[in-house]
Structures are given as C-alpha cells and as structure tokens.
Amino acid sequence: MQSVPTLILKDPIFIQHDPGPSHPESPHRLETIYSGVTALLESEGYGGEYRIIAPRDATMEELSWNHHPDYIQRIARTSGIDHYQLDPDTATSARSWEAAIKAAGGVFSLIDRLMDGQGRNGFALVRPPGHHAERDRAMGFCLFNNVALGAHYAMKIYGLKKVVIIDWDLHHGNGTQHSFYSSDSVLYFSTHQFPYYPGTGALNEVGQGDGTGFTVNVPLGAGKDDSDYSAIFSQLVRPVVHEFKPDIILVSAGFDIYHRDPLGGMAVSGRGFGLLAAHVLKMARECCSGRVIFCLEGGYNLAGLRDGVLEVLKACRYSREKMDKILDRARTAEKSFRELDSAISFHSRYWPVA
C-alpha cells in the first residue's frame, strides 16, 4: 500500500515577483530551488513519495484576518505596476500582488490537504516571504504574513485550538510575533541572530495579557552551527512544544543561517537543515499526528538555499528508525553555550524546561 506523500507546493507565479535588479530576494532563489526539486523527483526511489500541488488565491476576507483592509488594498493597487517601492527594502512588480495572494493561499491549500489526509506533511515553496509583514505595512522583503495567515486559517476553518509556529530564519519574525502577542492559542518560537535586523526578538519579549509566555525568543550571537541549533531544539523547543501540545506545527523556514549566506552570520551546513527538520517532524509525530508545514522565508546563497530545502524534503520522508538514529547521533555532539543556558533559565518561569 502506497504511503501518504509529502506535498510540495510550487507555481511559476512565484518567480514573477521581482523586487528589482540586484535585490537579494530575487526570482533566482526559486528558480534554483525548483530545479533542485525537479532533480529530486526524477531521482530513483522518490517518484511516489512526493506530490506537487498548486496554490489558490487567498481572499480579501482571509487576508484581513491578519492585515488591515487599507493595507491589503494598497498592495492590490500595485498590480500591473512594473515597480513600486513600499519601503527601502521591499518593492513590488507587476505580478507581485498575484504572487502574494497565492503564497498565502498556498499555505491554506497545504493545510486543507493535511487535514483531509491527502498529505503526510508539506513544504510551501513560495515567495514573497512573510514573517516580517506587519498588520499594516510591508517590511523586510515581505508583503503578507503567510505563516501567520496559515495559523488563523487552521483555527478558523478547522477549529484547531493550538498552533505552534517555529521560526529558524536568521532574522526575527517581528510580524508573526506581533500577530499573536496577546494570544495563548499560538505559541511562537524564534531563534535568530541578535542584535540584528529588524531589532525585535529580545529574550524578555514573551507576550502580553493572555499571551504572556507564549512567545519564546532565543536571541543568538553569530557563529552558531548545526550542533548549537540541535541543542536548542532538543533542550528547549522540544519540552515547550510537548507541554503546549499543538494540533499543527508551522515552520518559517529561513535558509539564511547557512554558513555562506551573504546576509547572515551563522554556521549551519546544508545537512543541518535536515537535522532541524527532523527535530520538528519528530515533535509533530509525538504531538499532532505528524502535521507539519514548512514555508519558505529567507536564504540568499543559492547553493545553500537549494541544498537546505532538499535536505528538509528528504527529512520529511525519514522512517521513524532513521529519524531517531539521526537525532540520537546529533545529541552526542550537543554542548551547552551561554545563549541557550540563558534562554532555558529565563523561559523556565513559563515552561518546564529547567
């Protein structure tokens, strides 16, 4: 009997978003990824394990779950304009609006298929990215917050009560944090270089009101490698996720923590992304019937971006035995370091991690 496939969401429209010559968030990012995915699917042994699906458009009402209607209209009015500068870092082209509503709608499409059993897990290979997008403004290359909208969709359409968002991008996801800062239904967990753009994500940013404790930031100095990230995920992320008991896990998967990324300062290898994915996938198997959706965020070294995405996709198909073996081996290389010790000590006031 054929196993349930890993879903890959991709579409040529995402390559049509072009913020301008020499911009780091260029169409070449997805062209490189899509070429790598094609090679993976054509390789021996992977034919039936993955399924390509297409996105749908997010509606105005759906976008308004996380963004102000005036802001949505502002982005809509850029449709057909060759170049429109939204802030010093963020610009649109003639088809950016179309790409943006399909990026958010693509996350919805993946959630639909996971919830009805058509997919084992999934990866939304979309752009523009999303985690910096605020309720009422574009920021950091991002137009709409794809992962935050996915969390709203899972709760509103399927009645899920608890969503975990894990963000391993180099940069802190300010927009995602602010989307759920007062909520105890969405646990936002971020590892990020700090201090660095966008300037948010300090250790003491933990949420407010009912959401106090449900934002878990791990600010990091530069140079953290595979074993450092593995230690964070096994010693802090895992116990918090197990205590929270989510119904689904969404991942803001940024590949700018790659050791050769031109915008980054971290030291994660291509295989390191497969290791991070294995940590998340194991948590999902234990907590939420394996439901995980990865969503592309940053990553600007093309080789690292391609290799990292492929390692995540391969991890999505690991057997339980292989996953346990990889994680057991990784734990032997983990070591304590200052930022992790500080984060465990600080967040122990909210979660049983110390």
Domain ranges in the chain?
A: 10-347
pLDDT digits (tens, 9 = 90+) for 234-275: 999 999 999 999 999 999 999 999 999 999 999 999 999 999
- Specify the pTM: 0.98
Half-sphere exposure in the Cβ direction for 241 (13 Å, CA): 30
Question: In the chain, what's the furthest Cα-to-Cα distance?
Answer: 54
Residue 178: active-site member: no
Look at residues 340, 105, 146, 103 and name the one whose alpha carbon lies nearest to residue 229.
340
User: CB under 8 Å to 208, separation ≥6 — which residues?
Assistant: 181, 182
What are the distances in angstroms from CA 50 to CA 8, 33, 217, 229, 310? 7, 15, 33, 27, 12
17, 131, 132, 192: the catalytic one is 132
Q: What is the mean pLDDT of residues 293-314?
A: 98
* Per-position DSSP letters for 275-338, written without gaps between them: HHHHHHHHHHHHHSTT-EEEEE-----HHHHHHHHHHHHHHTT--HHHHHHHHHHHHTT----H
pLDDT tier, 2 (very low <50, low <70, confident <90, very high otherwise): low
Mean pLDDT of the chain: 97
pLDDT tier, 44 (very low <50, low <70, confident <90, very high otherwise): confident
- d(C-alpha 10, C-alpha 67), whole Å: 24
Cβ(62)–Cβ(69) under 8 Å? no
Question: Taken in order 284, 288, 291, 294, is the CA torsion positive or negative?
Answer: negative
Q: Residue 62 phi/psi, 5° resolution?
A: -65, -45
Q: What is the mean pLDDT of residues 19-43?
A: 96
Q: What is the mean pLDDT of residues 176-200?
A: 98
Half-sphere exposure in the Cβ direction for 242 (13 Å, CA): 13
What's the fold here for domain 10-347? Answer: Arginase; Chain A (3.40.800)
